[in-house]
Amino acid sequence: MSSISKSQAQPLHGHVVLVTGASRGIGKAVALKLAQLGASLAICGRDPQALQAAATQLRSVPANVLAQPADVTKPSDIAALVHATETQLGPISLLVNNAGIGNPGFGPVQEKSEEDWDRVLDTNLKSAFLVSRAVAPLMIQRRHGDIINISSLAGKNTFAGGALYCASKWGLQGLTGCMAEDLRQYGIRVSVICPGSVATEFSGRGPKDPSKVLTAEDVAHAVAMLALQGPQSFISEVQLRPVAKP
């Protein structure tokens, strides 16, 4: 039996991936999965200690890793992150916009403050716009790339107490669709993944039954599927649900 080649075992070898919000939860699981497939990883987050812990775990895969603290609602932080990634690791071939928060996005709209609105929309929606705006011109130059936005089924369904969070995720759905149309002419695919409830440290609406929710690794699997799709195909949206209904 012939041995498995490196290109088969690590199909993303030579690719550079930037994952935002990768110090924990879904972002860290995505980074680990793509590292196992051979990619070099640039990861960012606001908590330097958690970020370094994630980087240490990634390097044990092993993987080439750049871990840089960044607030992806700030253009200056994003510019520094993208520059460091391209300089130290190489051209970014895949961007995963994962940074997001739950609270203070839950609760009746009349009880929410303008500061709550700004925090949720800036983190969940504006950050995807800002990071994509920084990375897309580089991908256009190379006429190649993938951008994957991590949304939520809350971006397709409304529920009581979800006004701010749903607004951010519905907005992300619209942003993704328009970006896809703007960029596909340059060979760039923009996709969105919409998970249901995921068992992470994410601050959501309350306790979750572990048997009736997704794992962060389930979302990472979906990201890997998009990253490995054939060059002629374009999976624009993935809806991901637990088998058991919550």
Residue with token string 């110090």: 23
Which residues are catalytically annotated?
165
Q: Which residues contact 190 (CB under 8 A, 6 or more apart)?
A: 132, 146, 147, 148, 149, 176, 179, 180, 183, 184, 236
Distance CA 102, CA 120 (A): 7
Distance CA 68, CA 43 (A): 6
